[in-house]
Structure 1
Amino acid sequence: MNTQPDAPRHVVATSADADTVLRRLAREGWTARSGFALPDPAWDVAAHRIVLHGRIADDDTETVALAVLAAARGAGVVAVCDPESAAGRALIDDLSRIGAVHRGTDGADPVASLIPEQRALLDRLAAGDTIAAAAAAEFLSLRTANRRIAEARALFGVRTTREAVLAYLRQRQPE
């Protein structure tokens, strides 16, 4: 079992936001490298505490693939891109399959960091569904639903699913 903490995954809008995140990660012991290609031939680079960073253009699927591969190999990722662009949506979606993705500099708004699957699950749990029923309604396996909810708990900094649902309800924007 991997005892390394989860590598950070951030998608930010500006280079200034990326600099803020990178400074914080450097204080936490991460080594920043520009670009998303990993030179290390070893597959698992988590122990090296490397965080790769750079800008991803709106239609740059190749760089998205490099960033996702780096994250899958255990590197941290800080990507500057428009989260509403095709590349930004693809990046956030693919990174969220690996683990929690933070949008912005400090995670101050955990609701903004939730992916659509997490929002849908939390909405269903808030309406009284069980995790199994919510997973089935969202066409997710129970294991995936449990992972998504665990990531949401981590984003909200709570221990229980009930606390995550309550935090989500308190912090989400009214529709």
Structure 2
Amino acid sequence: MTRQPDAPRHVVATPGDADTVLRRLIRDGWVARDGFALPDPGWDVTGNRLVLHGRITDPETLQLAVLAAARGAGIVAICDAESPLGRALIDDLARLGPVRQGAATEPAGEPGPVAELVPEQRALLDRLAAGDTIAAAAAAEFLSLRTANRRIAEARQLFGVRTTREAVLAYLRQRGAQP
């Protein structure tokens, strides 16, 4: 079974930035739809290549956007990333996968695979780099061992390595830290 690529998740500041991102996604085969309510009654809409877009102005719209992202839809949300609503949106979306901010193609911040890690993966890799076992790191991050192992496996795949040790070393190298 081949894994579908993650649906795009963008948080932008202006409608112009949203248009730029949407044009690029449409060119890549995504179908854009205004608003965050999903028309499809089925739970998983990943295969539909649907990207929902609009302005996040209240907690209800935020919940709709996060629910749509959890169901596999792409999201282009217009929201001030520094506002409490924007920070909540980015935090919630980041639990599902990488979130791109602004109209840029690549995530802001660190270059390479480190920028694609979700916060849970970063926290686990930091703990592993400090000498914790996966079980200890999972407990410290309030994750099940199964979820921690899955997050670490995703990180190994992202870095293109076979072992957890190699993933931790690649993570430290890309962050600029010394192992």
User: What TM-score range do you get, normalising by the shorter chain?
Assistant: 0.7 to 0.9
8 Å contact from structure 2 (residues 94, 119) kept in 1: no
Measure how far apart 1:114 and its partner are. 4.3
Distance across 2 between alignment mates of 1:19 and 1:37: 19
- State percent identity of aligned pairs: 75
Aligned equivalents of 2:76, 2:11: Cα separation in 1: 6
Query: Deviation of residue 65 (structure 1)?
Result: 0.7
What is the CA–CA distance in structure 1 between the aligned matches of 2:24 and 2:159, rounded to whole Å? 18
2:106 aligns to what? 107
1:58-77 deviation line (CA, Å, top 9, x unaligned): xx111111111211222111
Kept in 2: contact 1:43–1:73 (CA 8 A): yes
Partners in 2 of 1:25 and 1:153 — Cα distance? 27
Question: What is the correspondence of 1:22-171 to structure 2 with a 5 Å cutoff?
Answer: 22-57=22-57, 60-97=58-95, 99-104=96-101, 105-108=104-107, 109=110, 111=114, 114-153=117-156, 156-160=158-162, 161-171=164-174
Q: Secondary structure at the match of 2:125?
A: helix
3-state DSSP class of the match of 2:41? coil
CA distance in 2 between counterparts of 1:54 and 1:173 reads: 37
What is the deviation of 1:30? 0.7
Bigger shift: residues 108-117 or 70-79: 108-117
Deviation at 1:51, TM superposition (A): 0.4
Q: Residue 87 of structure 1 aligns to which amino acid in structure 2?
A: L
Q: What SS does the aligned partner of 1:29 have?
A: coil
CA distances 1:61-111 after superposition (whole Å, capped 9, x unpaired) = 1111111121122211122223333222322333233x2122233234454
Aligned-residue Cα RMSD (Å) equals 2.9
Cα separation, 2, equivalents of 1:148 and 1:168: 14
When normalised by structure 2's length, the TM-score is 0.74
SS in 2 for 1:39: coil
**The residue matched to 2:51 in structure 1 has which SS?**
strand
TM-score normalized with structure 1 length: 0.76
In structure 1, list runs of 5 or more residues that go unmatched: none
Using the TM superposition, give the Cα deviation of residue 153 of structure 1 relative to its aligned residue in structure 2, in angstroms. Answer: 4.8
DSSP-derived class of the 1:119 partner: helix
